[in-house]
Each structure stands twice: as C-alpha cells, then as structure tokens.
C-alpha cells in the first residue's frame, strides 16, 4: 500500500527530474531546499497519526467499555503524542514502552537490542521526531536542515517499519 509520504516522494522526484531535464538547475536546488523540510515535517506528522491510530486500536481491542475508550482517547491519546517520547534521546523508546508497564518495556527493549535492523528503525523514527522539533521551534524558514531528501527518505523507510512493528506488538 502506498502511503501519502510515498506519493509526496514520487511527486518530488518527478518535479525535480522535470526541472533538471529542462535546464532549471537553480529551481531544482530551490525546490530541494524546501521539499526536504516539508518531507521531514510530513513524516513526523504522519507518524503521529499512525501512533495515535495504533493506540486507539489498542484500547478498543482491550476494552469493551466505550467509556474507557472515550476517557483514554480524551485524556491519554489526543494531543499527547509528543509527550510519549524523549525526543532528545534518539537511541531508545523506553519512555514510550514504559507507559505499557515494566514487563512490556523490558521485553520490547530486549527485542530491539537483539535486532540491529529494529534498532536502526527506532533511531530513524526518533531522529525524524527530534529534527522536527528543532525545525519548528527554531524558525522553520531559516532552520539549516543538514539531511538530503534521499537521507530523509531512507530514514522514513526505516521509521515506517518501526511503526508497523509497534502496531504488531500492540494490536495483533
């Protein structure tokens, strides 16, 4: 299934290829400067909706009482996403995992430590979130983003795998 992020990446590449093939190199450079910031923000926003959807599904799966779902949605899920993770700590998700209890945190932390690919996926997810915070809190237009469009795309591809891992752990 193609995500909105994947469509954005494809649209950017098509536009960039068009500009380059028509000798518009300076326009290509300008577009790249803005599109990579937009890509990073789009990824972070997309992850927020994905994690929130996973949490809602988790609560629905584990409670038949709609009052519990409503309470959890209103007080623990909506507008709380950026409190779930320590965005300055880009090596682990212990804060998030700990919200599900010590046993879950230990189990998942150990799985992540034993799986190098999963470790890289977690780091990619946290790196995008951390970079997003820096960018939006340090004057978006003047913020110097050091990552290329392709590097952000690579981080996204890894981070998306991490989100699917969390979905599997909480909802399957």
Residue 1: what pLDDT?
A: 52
Residue 58 is assigned to a structural domain of this protein: no
Inside any domain, residue 56: no
In a domain, 72, yes or no: no
Taking 3-state DSSP, the helix, strand and coil percentages for the chain, each rounded to the nearest 5, stand at 80, 0, 20
Query: What is the residue range of 131's domain?
Result: 4-51+82-171
Among 86, 59, 94, which Cα is nearest to 75's?
A: 59
Residue 73 lies in a domain: no
Chain centroid offset of residue 72 CA: 22
Q: Is residue 87 included in any domain, yes or no?
A: yes
Residue 74 domain-assigned (yes or no): no
For residue 61, being part of any structural domain is answered with: no
**Does 142 fall in a domain?**
yes
d(CA 112, CA 168): 14
Q: Check residue 94 and give its pLDDT.
A: 93
The size of the chain, in residues, is: 172
pLDDT computed for residue 24 by the predictor: 96
User: What rounded mean pLDDT belongs to the chain?
Assistant: 94
Coil, strand or helix at 67: helix
pLDDT tens digits in sequence order for the chain, 172 residues long: 578 999 999 999 999 999 999 999 999 999 999 999 999 999 999 999 999 999 999 999 999 999 999 999 998 998 899 999 998 877 789 999 999 999 999 999 999 999 999 999 999 999 999 999 999 999 898 899 999 999 999 999 999 999 999 999 999 8
pTM (predicted TM-score): 0.92
Q: How many domains does the chain have?
A: 1
Separation between Cα atoms, residue 118 and residue 148, nearest integer Å: 23
Which two three-digit tokens encode residue 151?
């590097």
Residue-level pLDDT at 92:
86
């Amino acid at each position: 299934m193609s995500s909105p992020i994947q469509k954005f990446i494809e649209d950017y590449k098509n536009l960039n290829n068009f500009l380059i093939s028509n000798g518009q190199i300076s326009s290509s450079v300008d577009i790249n400067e803005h599109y990579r910031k937009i890509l990073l923000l789009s990824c972070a926003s997309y992850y927020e909706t994905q994690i929130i959807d996973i949490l809602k599904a988790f609560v629905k799966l584990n409670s038949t009482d709609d009052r519990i779902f409503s309470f959890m949605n209103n007080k623990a899920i909506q507008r709380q996403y950026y409190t779930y993770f320590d965005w300055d700590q880009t090596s682990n998700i212990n804060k998030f995992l700990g919200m599900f209890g010590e046993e879950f945190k230990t189990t998942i932390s150990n799985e992540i430590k034993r799986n190098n690919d999963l470790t890289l996926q977690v780091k990619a997810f946290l790196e995008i979130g951390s970079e997003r915070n820096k960018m939006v809190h340090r004057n978006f237009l003047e913020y110097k983003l050091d990552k290329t469009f392709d590097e952000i795309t690579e981080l996204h591809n890894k981070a998306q795998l991490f989100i699917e891992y969390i979905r599997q752990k909480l909802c399957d």
